[in-house]
Structure 1
Amino acid sequence: MGIEVSIDIPASPQEVWDYAADLARNVEWMADAASIAFTSETTEGVGTTLDCLTRFGPLRTTDRIEVIEWDPPHTLGISHQGAVRGTGRFTLTPSPEGTLFTWSEDLTLPWYFGSRIAQQPASMVLERVWKRNLRALRARILERQQGPTGHEPGPLLGMGRDSEMRAYGPHIIRVSLRGRDVSHEAEAMQHVRHYGFPAPKVIEQPDDHSVVMERLSGPTMLDELAAKPWLVPRHVKGLARLHRLLGDVPAPSGWAKVSGGNSVVHLDLQPDNVKITPEGPVVIDWSNAAAGDAAFDAASTYVRLRTASPDNHAAARAVINAFRTRFARAFLKEFGADEIRAHLRAAADLRLLDRNLHPNEREAVFALARGELD
Structure 2
Amino acid sequence: MSIEVSIDIPAPPQEVWDYAADLALNVEWMADAASIQFVTAQREGVGTQFDCVTKLGPLRTTDRIEVTEWNPPHALGVEHRGAVGGTGCFTLTPSNGGTRFTWTEELTLPWYFGSRLGLRPASAVLERVWRKNLRSLRARILERQQGPSGHEPGLLLGMGRDSEVRAYGPHVVRISLRGRDLSQEADAMRHVRTHGFPAPRVIEQPDDHSVVMERLSGPTMLEDLAAKPWLMVRHAKRLAKLHRALGDIPAPADWVKVSAGNSVVHLDMQPDNVKLTPDGPLVIDWSNAAAGNPAFDAASTYVRLRTGAPDNHAAARAVINTFRNRFAGMFLKEFGADQIREHLRAAADLRLLDRNLRANEREAVFALARGELD
TM range (shorter): 0.5 to 0.7
Counterpart for residue 350 of structure 1: 350
Structure 2 residue aligned with 1:272? 272
Which residue pairs with 2:150 in the alignment?
Answer: 151
Whole-Å Cα distance in 2 between the matches of residues 318 and 169 of structure 1?
A: 33
Map 1:64-143 to 2 at 5 A: none
- Corresponding residue number in structure 2 for 1:103: none
Report the AA paired with residue 146 of structure 1.
Answer: E
The residue type equivalent to 1:150 in the other structure is S
**In structure 2, how many angstroms separate the alpha carbons of the residues matched to 1:311 and 1:212?**
25
- Answer yes or no: is the 8 Å Cα contact 1:144–1:150 preserved in 2: no
Change in Cα spacing, 1:224 to 1:313, as seen in structure 2 (3 Å) is closer
Equivalents in 2 of 1:151, 1:158: separation in Å? 22
Once the two structures are TM-superposed, the CA of residue 318 in structure 1 deviates from its matched residue by 7.5
SS of the residue corresponding to residue 147 of structure 1 reads helix
Q: Is the 8 A contact 2:226 2:318 kept in 1?
A: no
Question: Secondary structure of the residue that 1:281 maps to in structure 2?
Answer: strand
**Percent same amino acid at aligned positions?**
78
Asked if 1:212 is matched to 2:212, the reply is yes
Say whether the 8 Å CA contact 2:156–2:167 is kept in structure 1. Answer: yes
Structure 1: which 5+ runs fail to align? 1-14, 16-142
- Structure 2 equivalent of residue 245 of structure 1: 245
CA gap of 1:312–1:262, structure 2 versus 1, over 3 A, is: closer
State the 4+ residue runs in structure 1 displaced beyond 2 angstroms. 143-151, 310-314, 316-322
The equivalent residue for 1:287 is 287
C-alpha distance after superposition, 1:215-246 (max 9, x if no partner): 01000000000000001011001000000000
Distance change >3 Å, CA 242–CA 317, structure 1 → 2: closer
Instruction: Tell me the CA shift for residue 294 of structure 1.
Output: 0.4
Output the amino acid matched with 1:177. Answer: L
Measure the CA separation in 2 of the matches of 1:318 and 1:370.
26
Deviation at 1:248, TM superposition (A): 0.3
Q: Does 1:175 align with 2:175?
A: yes
Provide the rounded CA distance (Å) in 1 between the counterparts of 2:360 and 2:201.
36
Number of positions where the alignment pairs a residue of Structure 1 with one of Structure 2: 235
Question: 1:319 and 1:215, CA in 2 relative to 1: closer, same or farther beyond 3 A?
Answer: closer
- TM-score if structure 2 supplies the norm length? 0.59
The aligned amino acid for 2:268 is D
Report matched runs for 1:299-338 at 5 Å.
299-311=299-311, 320-338=320-338
Q: Deviations over 1:48-95 (max 9, x none)?
A: xxxxxxxxxxxxxxxxxxxxxxxxxxxxxxxxxxxxxxxxxxxxxxxx
Larger relative contact order, structure 1 or 2 (CA cutoff 8 Å, min sep 6) = 2
Aligned-CA RMSD value: 2.6
CA contact (8 A) 1:198 1:282 kept: yes
Alpha-carbon distance change, 319 to 280 in structure 1, aligned in 2, over 3 angstroms: closer
Query: Is the 2:222–2:319 Cα contact (8 Å) retained in structure 1?
Result: no
Contact in 2 for aligned 1:151/1:168 (Cα 8 Å): no
CA distance in 1, matches of 2:284, 2:218: 13
